[in-house]
Amino acid sequence: MYQHGFYSAKIKLPSDYTAGVVVAFYTSNGDVFEKTHDELDIEFLGNIRGRKWRFQTNIYGNGSTHRGREERYTLWFDPTKDFHRYSILWTPKNIIFYVDEVPIREIVKTEAMGGDYPSKPMSLYATIWDASDWATSGGRFKVNYKYAPFIAQFTDLSLEGCPIDPLQSSVAAVNSLCSEATVRLQSKTYSTLTPGSHAAMRRFRQRYMYYYYCYDSIRYPIPPPECIIDPTERARYHDTGRLKFGGSHKRRSRQSSLTPTNYESSDKQADVM
C-alpha cells in the first residue's frame, strides 16, 4: 500500500465485441478499510464494434460510495490497436488523471470536501470483470461469452509513492514517515499543471467529456463542494449531467500532449483475463 503516489501503465484493451466487459486500473484500500475505503478509478466500459470507446474516472473518500464523482468520456483513438498510457496522480493537495500524458481531470482538495478526499494508503489494482448490468449503454448490451477470452494487456508500469503498512502506524505516523516521499512526489513535473497543460485539459474536456456529475442536478440538487459551475459550459449539458446532442466542439486539427518525466518504469508485461 502507498500513501500518495503516481500510478501509471500502458494498457491495450480487448478487441472485437466487448460489451459489458469492464477493464479497470485503480487504487483502493477496501480490503483493509471495508466501511471507510478510499478509491481512485479509471474504468473502460466495454464496446461494440464500430463505436467509440467510452471510459470513466471516479473518486471515493472515507466510504463515500453514495456520493460518486463520475466523469465519462470518449477516447480519440482505438485502445485495442496499440498500447496507450493511463496514469493517476494522488497527492495531499490534488489528484490528476492522465491519458497518454494529456491531463484529463484534476481534483483540488478543498476543506469543504472533508473526508470525501482520499486520505488513507491504497494499493494499485488491475481487473477485468462482467458489468453487464450497467457498463455499456447503461446495460443495454451484455457480455457475450462467445467472444471470450477477453484479454487486457498491461506493460511499462510506473509506481512511485511511499510504501507503508497502515495497520502498523497511526495516521500521524504515516504522514510523518512519508513526508519526504510526498515532497519528492509534489516536485515532479506531472504533479502541477502549467497554463499549457490546463489548456490541453480544457480542450480534452470540451471535446470528449459527455457526463459530468457537477451538472447532474437530478442526482445532486446541490452540487458537491468541489464543483465550480461555469454557466456557459453548464448550458451544454442536460439536468442529468449528460452532454446535449451536438454540444461538443468541432474536431481540432492537432492534439496537445504533455510528457511526465522523472519516473521509472518496468518492461514487464502482464495479461489480465
**DSSP readout, 200-268?**
HHHHHHHHHEEEEEEEETTT-SS--TT----HHHHTTB-TEEEBPTT-SPPPPSS-------S------
| 20 touches 141 (CB < 8 A) | yes
269 occurs within a structural domain: no
254 occurs within a structural domain: no
Q: Which amino acid is at 264?
A: E
Distances (CA, A) of 263 to 46, 89, 111, 192, 239: 30, 12, 30, 15, 41
Question: What is residue 268's predicted lDDT score, i.e. its pLDDT?
Answer: 57
CATH code, 207: 2.60.120.200
| 91 touches 186 (CB < 8 A) | yes
Is beta strand 39-44 parallel, antiparallel or unpaired with respect to 240-242? unpaired
Q: Which amino acid is at 193?
A: L
Number of domains in the chain: 1
- The 10s digit of each residue's pLDDT in 228-262 is 999 999 999 999 999 998 655 444 444 444 444 44
Question: What is residue 26's predicted lDDT score, i.e. its pLDDT?
Answer: 98
117 occurs within a structural domain: yes
Residue 272 has pLDDT above 80, yes or no: no
263 occurs within a structural domain: no
Question: What is residue 65's predicted lDDT score, i.e. its pLDDT?
Answer: 77
Domain containing residue 208: 2-242
Question: What is residue 248's predicted lDDT score, i.e. its pLDDT?
Answer: 54
d(Cα 151, Cα 271) in Å, to the nearest integer? 6
* Lowest-pLDDT range of 77-81, 124-128, 267-271: 267-271
| 71 touches 243 (CB < 8 A) | no
Name the CA dihedral angle for 193, 233, 217, 26, rounded to a multiple of 10 degrees: -30
Task: Look up 39 and say whether it is catalytic.
Answer: yes
Q: Among residues of the chain, what percentage have pLDDT more than 90?
A: 79
Question: What is residue 271's predicted lDDT score, i.e. its pLDDT?
Answer: 64
Q: Hey, what's the cell of 45?
A: 466500459
- The 10s digit of each residue's pLDDT in 47-82 is 998 899 999 999 999 987 778 899 999 999 999 999
Question: What is residue 247's predicted lDDT score, i.e. its pLDDT?
Answer: 56
- The 10s digit of each residue's pLDDT in 194-228 is 999 999 999 999 999 999 999 999 999 999 999 99
Pick from 27, 23, 85: nearest CA to 54: 23
Taking the model in full, what pTM does it have?
Answer: 0.89
235 occurs within a structural domain: yes
Task: Look up 226 and say whether it is catalytic.
Answer: no
- pLDDT category, 270, cuts 50, 70, 90? low
Residue 264 has pLDDT above 60, yes or no: no
135 occurs within a structural domain: yes
- The 10s digit of each residue's pLDDT in 135-191 is 999 999 999 999 999 999 999 999 999 998 877 777 677 778 899 999 999 999 999
29 occurs within a structural domain: yes
Which candidate in 43, 71, 101, 160 is catalytic? 43
Which candidate in 39, 71, 101, 160 is catalytic? 39
255 occurs within a structural domain: no
d(Cα 120, Cα 205) in Å, to the nearest integer? 29
